[in-house]
Structures are given as structure tokens and as C-alpha cells.
């Protein structure tokens, strides 16, 4: 089967933003204008295509990233060949608890549309998704939405983008009118006006720039031109020589500047309707095709040599699985992005992580929750495999004879835990399976058993995250459960160095047990490396076959915690000496010896507790400002900045998560229901000693007073 569209006419884009900025509504506008739907659904009425889960429709929020494919032929911005383009769109969640969906989507996308609420400007999660796009060097467009509503302001939002995100965001169109009177835009390249009567119109009226906007349009056009010619030497020379650039040259300069990742075209309007036609033009003309994003790099799993794959159907098949989903009709689905080659149903692929081959049964193209069977996928495509056995998020899928491992996706650590137990004996059997499937889908969701209490603890990115998990368990897997109060996911680490001996000897009449190790521990200095085990045994003082057992014992002790039962992080452990017994030594003995040595070493190395610190933004009327600041200070919060957004005061602070439970109720009562807040994880920080002693005293792991000494 030949490919439907040349790879250069394919666009893989994400819609990313703060919660309630209007991502899903803009996606609806795109589907309406490309003819895929005949009515624009509304989020609050639960009618949208990409918010298909029951929980999404009930709550009016996006929880899981949904993929849709549409087709568009440029109408106004016409750069080069005017062909129909295939656009794969991923609509991502805005709520910080579901940040994993944004992270994994951006890893495989070629471009993004960042949506801003024109009434609010740049909000906390806007900054987070912008940084995530920076991390993966994703070229992006900005769309300032809702400027047609009361309080919507294109220019104020543009100013906020310049101050908080990048000074290199420039409008390529200006709105005609203000708030509810907005009825179109001025295109700064063609210097024409595009107007409409209703947002549901199918066609624009094209005309001259309104007289009252002419001077402003000329000023912004000059700024835009000056900035974009910097990315093309030939055009820069022409511009400096006072020669007029043609419309095609101007558009080419915008395209080059956008794809450099250092320039961001800005558009704006009512994202529900016809204005998204100009956004679709900008997507097809300025954001890169898979070819323009260039080669993808990886390593050979055997030789560890760096390799590259060109985005071409002729290259060996290479893809990255970026999302696992449980589908009630077909079972497990693995979403993947093809970087090179062609994959046919019925062929075999290699999972480069596990080294196992797997037969490709069905391949489907997703349209939100609907599936369309396809026989082949090509370079640049996004599709899903039905029923893969051992594929997980971040796995590289490749040609059996040409193995390659692409860089995996890194995810943030969970910050909050709850204890969960099944309501009945029948639920007990089903709960383990349900939690396992949900953990396969979501890498920021973790499960562990507390050995002392025999409880199952589930951890995630926030209260809403875990609430949705429990709700899905009930609806999709028919498991009823009792859930405990939320607990903070503290971590343990050390500030000093220490050495320790671990010796495990048991004589029981027959063959005994003998394991003996010396280890050294110190804080991990390499960023992002986490816990590390180094083997410095020379001369066979410990036989090679027992080294992995020591490592395993240490890792289990790290997971269990030493001072308060929380996981130990960022420690480098070196095994440097030990001894063994010809008859009595065993793997289990060395595992226990390693665990004993590690626990003793941590207690001697000035152990400390770490707690998650949240970045908090509070929006409050001035009358409640003093109460809000006083309350944040009482919660061990650090006030970072106070600004204004219209007539609302904005307080930016960093506050320990432990102090923020129940804050939604507190802030409502403090402000007579007028204040609101958003919160996201920022970093881990040492717990003050008096607070740490209380936490450790409650857990009873080590004597209070030993912390941090």
C-alpha cells in the first residue's frame, strides 16, 4: 500500500497549555474547520471529541492525551506547493497532575501550538509546558485564545509572554476590534484584513487594513520583518540594502526562524471557529515536517556506538512507544511514533529494551477513542499497536536485523501517596491486576507494599491524579476500594560520607550462611544519575557471582528506607572489600550483608529527610491579600513575587506540600470564595529538623535526634 501523503506534507503537533486556556475547544475548532465534525462540541457540556473518557466529560477537563488526524490545504498563507497536508494532533491535559501526558507527547512531536487564555495571560502551567517544549527543542506557535471575551486582551497577553517566557514571540496577525467586538484579523505579511460575522462562518471576507489599525500594523510588521530576516543571510543582506522582500521571501524567513526554535509566531482570536483556519495555515507553513526535524539519534544496544536514522521509508524501521493505554474493547494499546522505515501488519519487530521479538498483529490509527485498522505505517506517522505483550512507555521498537535504542523518556517522581485496600475478598483478587494495568499506562503512578503494615500504597503527582486512578479502577475494572488520607511522598538522603561493615553469619547444624562486605557511601554528585552502585572488588575477595546479590540487598534497603521508611535517593554506594566462605557463602547471605551494611552506613552519614516543595500561584482580590500572605508564611512558605493581573493580585510562592492539604477550602473561606490557586511540584528540599524529628518519631525508624548529625 503506497503512502497517502508525502512525508513533507505531514505535521505531528501537540496542543499544550494551562488548564482552561481552551486547548480542547481549539481542537474542536480545527476538527470542525477541516470537516471531520459538523458541530463544535463544548467542554462544559461534555460533547467534545478528544475528551472521550467519562471522567473527562463529567469534570470538564482533559485527563489523557488524545490523538486525532485531520487534513488541511492552506488557504491564506501560501508558501510553496499548495497541497493537502495530513496533521496528526495530540490534545494534551492542562492540569499539572497529568503532566506525564504532556511530557511523553512532546518527546515524539515535531511542533506544538501553545494556547494562552487571553484573560489571564501566562499562567503557571503555561510556563511548565513551555519549559517541557524547550527541553525537547520543539518549535512552536502561540495562540492567544478568548480575546473576544470580557477581560480578553491580545496585547497584555503578548506582553506577559515576552516577560515570562521569551522576548522572541512576535505577532503575525493582529486582532480587529476589542473583546466582544472582535470580528477578524490583519495579516502582517499580506497586509490584508480577514473578517467574519459569526465564529461558525466557513469563509472570511478579505479586504484592506482598517484605517485605525494601519499605523499599528505597519509598526508590528516592521518589527516582525526585522526579527525573522536574522535567520537567513541572503534575506538579511537584501533587507539591509533597503530592497523589498517578496511575500514568499517573507514567509520563508518566518518558516526558517520558527524551525530554528528561537522564534515563535503569535496568533489570536476566538478558538472555537473560523479563526483557526489561519492557525491551520500557520501549522502547515511554519511548523516542520518530520524531514525538517532531521535525523533521530540512538545507540547500538550491543556496541553502544551512536547511530542515526533518517526520516525516510527506505531506512530500517525505528519507532518509539510513547503511551500505553488499556482499551475496554481491544485490550492493551501501544501508541508509537515512526521515525524511519515502514511497519506492516503481520511482520515482526524487536523491542530494543527487552531484546525480545514480537509479532505485529493489528495496527490502528486513533481518532480519540475510535480505531481505524490500517495495514502499514510509514516514517513520520503516529499509530497504535493492538495487544503488545511486553511494550512499555519509552521502549524503542525497531527492525529485527537493525537494532537501535532511542533515548527514553524521563518522568518526574510522584509526590503524594495514599493507602488503598479492597472492600471485599473478590475485590482483592481484581485490585492487583487493575493497579498493574494502570501503572503500565502511567509512569508517574507507582505501587508499593508497606511490609510493616501490609498495606498497598499508591503514589502519584497529586490528589486529583490519585482520585482519577481510584475512579478508573471502580469504573473500568469494577474494583471497590477504601482509600486512606493523602500522605506526602518524602525521600531520604545523606549529607556526609561513611563506611560500614555488613556481616551475616548463621550456623544451623548443617550448611550455614556466610556473607561479609565493606561498603562506602557518599552523596551522588552527578546530576540526574540517582542511586549508583560501584563494584571495586579486586583479587576475588568476594566471588563475582555474589556481587549482584550485594547490589540487590542495597537496592531493597534503598526502597524500604532507613530513617523513616521513605525511599533513599541520590547516594553513591561503593563495595570495596569483604570475605566469603567456601561452603557456607550464598547469594541470600550476601544480599542480607549488603542490606545490613547499607542501613548502618546511612545512619552514620548524617541522614536527612527531603520533602516536595510546590510552586504555588494564588489569585486574590486586594482585600484578602494580607490574609493570604500571612497564611502562606505560616505554612513555611517563601513569597517569591507579587504582581497584578488586571484588578487581581497574584502571589507566587514556594510552599511544602505537607502544608497544602485542604488549602482549597481554606482559601475560599479566607476570601469569601473570591481567591483561587494553582500548584505544581517544583523541587525536593531538606525538611527542617524540628519537623523531621516529628515525622521520624511517628515512624519510629531511628532514635529522634540522630537526623542530620
User: What is the 3-class SS of 214-251, one letter each residue?
Assistant: HHHHHHHHHHHHHHHHHHCHHHHHHHHCCCCCCHHHHH
Give the mean pLDDT of 10-30. 83
Residue with the bigger pLDDT between 91 and 655: it is 655
Alpha helices for 113-259 (secondary structure H): 124-135, 154-164, 214-228, 233-240, 247-259
Q: Which of 382, 375, 365 has its CA nearest to residue 322?
A: 382
Would you say residue 11 has pLDDT above 70? yes
The band of 512, judged by pLDDT with boundaries at 50, 70 and 90, is confident
The confidence score (pLDDT) of residue 69 equals: 84
Cα–Cα dist 355/646, whole Å = 57
DSSP 56: H
Give every CB contact of residue 243 below 8 A, 6+ residues apart in sequence: none
Give the mean pLDDT of 176-198. 88
Cα–Cα dist 392/356, whole Å = 13
* CATH classification code of 492-605: 3.30.230.10
Cα–Cα dist 538/556, whole Å = 25
Would you say residue 634 has pLDDT above 80? yes
* CATH classification code of 611-693: 3.30.70.240
Give the mean pLDDT of 132-145. 91
Taking only the tens place, the pLDDT of each residue in 217-239 is 999 999 999 888 887 788 888 87
Q: Phi and psi (nearest 5°) for 244?
A: -70, 135
3-state secondary structure of 692: helix
The band of 610, judged by pLDDT with boundaries at 50, 70 and 90, is very high
The confidence score (pLDDT) of residue 47 equals: 44
Q: Is 572 left (phi over 0), alpha (psi -120 to 50) or beta?
A: beta
The band of 489, judged by pLDDT with boundaries at 50, 70 and 90, is confident
3-state secondary structure of 7: helix
HEC letters along 421-475: EECCHHHHHHHHHHHHHHHHHCCCCEEEEECCCCEEEEEECCHHHHHHHHHHHHH
Taking only the tens place, the pLDDT of each residue in 307-327 is 999 999 999 999 998 887 777
Q: Which three cell numbers stand for residue 636?
A: 513555611
Element (H, E) at 481: strand 481-483
Q: Which of 246-250, 370-374, 634-638, 648-652 has the highest mean pLDDT?
A: 634-638
The confidence score (pLDDT) of residue 17 equals: 83
Cα–Cα dist 515/501, whole Å = 11
Q: Which three cell numbers stand for residue 494?
A: 545523606
Of the listed ranges 45-59, 142-156, 521-535, 672-686, the one predicted with least confidence: 45-59
Q: Which of 195-199, 431-435, 612-616 has the highest mean pLDDT?
A: 612-616
Taking only the tens place, the pLDDT of each residue in 436-458 is 888 887 888 888 876 666 678 88
Residue 138 CB neighbours (<10 A): 24
Give the mean pLDDT of 682-709. 70
Sign of the alpha-carbon dihedral angle for 547, 548, 551, 552? negative
The band of 61, judged by pLDDT with boundaries at 50, 70 and 90, is very low
Give the mean pLDDT of 318-346. 84
Would you say residue 528 has pLDDT above 80? no
Would you say residue 51 has pLDDT above 70? no
Domain ranges within the chain, ordered by starting residue: 7-292, 296-406, 416-487, 492-605, 611-693
CATH 2.40.30.10 fits 296-406, yes or no: yes
Residue 196 CB neighbours (<10 A): 21
The yes-or-no answer to whether 296-406 and 492-605 have a common fold is: no
pTM score, two decimals? 0.74
Long-range (24+ apart) CB contacts under 8 A made by 621-630 are 621/647, 621/648, 621/649, 621/671, 621/674, 621/675, 622/647, 622/649, 623/671, 624/670, 624/671, 624/672, 624/674, 624/675, 625/649, 625/651, 627/670, 627/671, 628/667, 628/670, 628/671, 628/675
Name the residue with cell 525480545: 356
Q: Cβ(63)–Cβ(52) under 8 Å?
A: no
Cα–Cα dist 296/300, whole Å = 13
Between β-strands 192-195 and 376-377, what pairing exists: parallel, antiparallel or unpaired?
Answer: unpaired
State the fold for domain 7-292: Rossmann fold (3.40.50)
Would you say residue 45 has pLDDT above 50? no
Q: To the nearest 10°, report the CA torsion of 554, 559, 562, 564.
A: 180
Q: Which of 481, 468, 331, 443 has its CA nearest to residue 54?
A: 468
Would you say residue 65 has pLDDT above 50? no
Give the mean pLDDT of 345-349. 91
Name the residue with cell 550485594: 550
The confidence score (pLDDT) of residue 238 equals: 83
The per-residue b/e assignment along 515-547, b for 16 or more CB within 10 angstroms, e otherwise, is: bbbbbbbbebeeeeeebebeeebeeeebeeebb
Give the mean pLDDT of 246-257. 89
The band of 403, judged by pLDDT with boundaries at 50, 70 and 90, is very high
Residue with the bigger pLDDT between 462 and 395: it is 395
Q: Which of 609, 606, 617 has its CA nearest to residue 684?
A: 609
Name the residue with cell 490509527: 365
The band of 39, judged by pLDDT with boundaries at 50, 70 and 90, is low
Q: Phi and psi (nearest 5°) for 700?
A: 65, 25
State the fold for domain 416-487: Alpha-Beta Plaits (3.30.70)
Would you say residue 344 has pLDDT above 60? yes
Give the mean pLDDT of 176-201. 87
Residue with the bigger pLDDT between 648 and 66: it is 648
Residue with the bigger pLDDT between 496 and 302: it is 496
Q: Cβ(573)–Cβ(520) under 8 Å?
A: yes
Cα–Cα dist 580/568, whole Å = 28
3-state secondary structure of 666: helix
The band of 509, judged by pLDDT with boundaries at 50, 70 and 90, is low
The confidence score (pLDDT) of residue 441 equals: 78
The band of 193, judged by pLDDT with boundaries at 50, 70 and 90, is very high
The confidence score (pLDDT) of residue 44 equals: 41
Q: Cβ(86)–Cβ(289) under 8 Å?
A: no
Give the mean pLDDT of 329-351. 87
Cα–Cα dist 541/433, whole Å = 44
Q: Is 220 left (phi over 0), alpha (psi -120 to 50) or beta?
A: alpha
Give the mean pLDDT of 12-20. 83
The confidence score (pLDDT) of residue 80 equals: 64
Percent of the chain with pLDDT over 70: 90
Residue 228 CB neighbours (<10 A): 28
Average pLDDT, the chain: 85
Residue 604 CB neighbours (<10 A): 16
Amino acid at each position: 500500500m503506497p503512502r497517502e501523503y508525502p512525508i513533507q506534507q505531514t505535521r505531528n503537533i501537540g496542543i499544550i497549555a494551562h488548564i482552561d486556556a481552551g486547548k480542547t475547544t481549539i481542537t474542536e475548532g480545527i476538527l470542525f474547520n477541516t470537516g471531520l465534525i459538523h458541530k463544535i462540541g463544548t467542554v462544559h457540556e461534555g460533547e467534545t471529541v478528544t475528551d472521550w473518557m467519562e471522567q473527562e466529560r463529567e469534570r470538564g477537563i482533559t485527563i489523557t492525551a488524545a490523538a486525532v488526524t485531520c487534513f488541511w490545504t492552506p488557504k491564506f498563507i501560501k508558501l510553496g506547493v499548495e497541497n493537502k497536508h495530513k496533521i496528526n494532533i495530540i490534545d494534551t491535559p492542562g492540569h499539572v497532575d497529568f503532566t506525564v501526558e504532556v511530557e511523553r507527547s512532546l518527546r515524539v512531536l515535531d511542533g506544538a501550538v501553545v494556547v494562552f487564555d487571553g484573560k489571564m495571560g501566562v499562567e503557571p502551567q503555561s510556563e511548565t509546558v513551555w519549559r517541557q517544549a524547550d527541553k525537547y527543542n520543539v518549535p512552536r506557535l502561540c495562540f492567544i485564545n478568548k480575546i473576544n471575551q470580557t477581560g480578553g486582551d491580545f496585547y497584555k497577553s503578548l506582553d506577559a509572554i515576552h516577560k515570562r517566557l521569551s522576548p522572541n514571540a512576535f505577532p503575525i496577525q493582529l486582532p480587529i476590534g476589542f473583546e466582544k467586538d472582535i470580528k477578524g484579523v490583519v495579516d502582517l505579511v499580506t497586509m490584508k484584513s480577514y473578517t467574519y460575522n459569526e465564529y461558525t462562518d466557513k469563509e472570511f471576507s478579505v479586504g484592506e487594513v482598517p484605517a485605525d489599525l494601519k499605523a499599528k500594523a505597519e509598526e508590528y510588521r516592521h518589527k516582525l520583518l526585522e526579527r525573522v530576516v536574522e535567520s537567513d543571510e541572503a534575506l538579511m543582506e537584501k533587507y539591509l540594502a533597503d530592497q523589498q522582500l517578496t511575500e514568499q521571501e517573507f514567509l520563508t524567513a518566518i518558516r526558517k526562524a520558527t524551525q530554528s526554535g528561537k522564534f515563535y509566531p503569535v496568533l489570536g482570536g476566538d478558538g472555537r471557529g473560523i479563526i483557526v483556519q489561519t492557525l491551520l495555515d500557520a501549522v502547515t507553513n511554519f511548523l516542520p515536517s518530520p524531514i525538517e526535524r532531521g535525523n533521530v539519534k540512538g545507540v547500538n544496544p550491543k556496541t553502544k556506538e551512536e547511530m542515526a536514522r533518517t526520516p525516510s521509508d527506505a531506512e530500517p524501521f525505528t519507532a518509539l512507544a510513547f503511551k500505553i493505554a488499556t482499551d475496554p474493547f481491544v485490550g492493551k494499546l501501544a501508541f508509537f511514533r515512526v521515525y524511519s522505515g515502514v511497519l506492516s501488519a503481520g511482520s515482526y519487530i524487536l523491542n530494543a529494551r527487552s531484546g525480545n521479538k514480537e509479532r505485529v498483529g493489528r495496527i490502528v490509527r486513533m481518532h480519540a477513542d475510535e480505531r481505524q485498522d490500517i495495514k502499514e505505517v510509514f516514517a513520520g506517522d503516529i499509530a497504535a499497536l493492538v495487544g503488545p505483550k511486553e511494550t512499555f512507555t519509552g521502549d524503542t521498537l525497531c527492525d529485527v536485523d537493525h537494532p537501535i535504542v532511542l533515548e527514553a523518556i524521563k518522568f518526574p517522581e510522584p509526590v503524594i501517596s495514599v493507602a488503598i485496600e479492597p472492600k471485599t475478598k473478590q475485590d482483592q483478587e481484581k485490585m492487583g491486576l487493575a493497579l498493574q494495568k494502570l501503572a503500565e499506562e502511567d509512569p508517574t503512578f507507582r505501587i508499593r507494599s508497606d511490609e510493616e503494615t501490609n498495606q498497598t500504597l499508591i503514589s502519584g503527582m497529586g490528589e486529583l491524579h490519585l482520585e482519577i486512578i481510584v475512579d478508573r479502577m471502580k469504573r473500568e475494572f469494577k474494583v471497590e476500594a477504601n482509600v486512606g488520607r493523602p500522605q506526602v511522598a518524602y525521600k531520604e538522603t545523606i549529607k556526609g560520607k561513611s563506611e560500614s561493615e555488613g556481616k551475616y553469619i548463621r550456623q544451623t547444624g548443617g550448611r550455614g550462611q556466610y556473607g561479609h562486605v565493606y561498603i562506602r557511601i557518599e552523596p551522588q554528585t552527578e546530576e540526574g544519575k540517582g542511586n549508583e552502585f560501584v563494584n571495586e572488588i579486586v583479587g576475588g575477595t568476594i566471588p563475582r557471582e555474589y556481587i549482584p546479590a550485594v547490589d540487590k540487598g542495597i537496592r531493597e534497603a534503598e526502597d524500604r528506607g532507613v530513617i523513616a521508611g521513605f525511599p533513599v535517593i541520590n547516594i553513591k554506594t561503593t563495595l570495596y572489600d569483604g570475605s566469603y566462605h567456601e561452603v557456607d557463602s550464598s547469594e541470600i547471605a550476601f544480599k542480607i550483608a549488603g542490606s545490613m551494611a547499607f542501613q548502618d552506613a546511612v545512619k552514620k552519614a548524617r541522614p536527612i529527610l527531603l520533602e516536595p516543595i510546590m510552586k504555588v500561584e494564588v489569585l486574590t482580590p486586594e482585600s484578602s491579600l494580607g490574609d493570604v500572605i500571612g497564611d502562606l508564611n505560616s505554612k513555611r512558605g517563601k513569597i517569591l513575587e507579587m504582581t497584578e493581573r488586571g484588578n487581581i493580585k497574584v502571589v507566587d510562592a514556594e510552599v511544602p506540600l505537607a502544608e497544602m492539604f485542604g488549602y482549597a477550602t481554606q482559601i475560599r473561606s479566607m476570601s469569601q470564595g473570591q481567591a483561587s490557586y494553582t500548584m505544581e511540584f517544583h523541587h525536593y528540599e531538606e525538611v527542617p529538623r524540628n519537623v523531621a524529628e516529628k515525622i521520624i518519631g511517628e515512624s519510629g525508624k531511628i532514635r529522634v535526634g540522630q537526623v542530620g548529625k
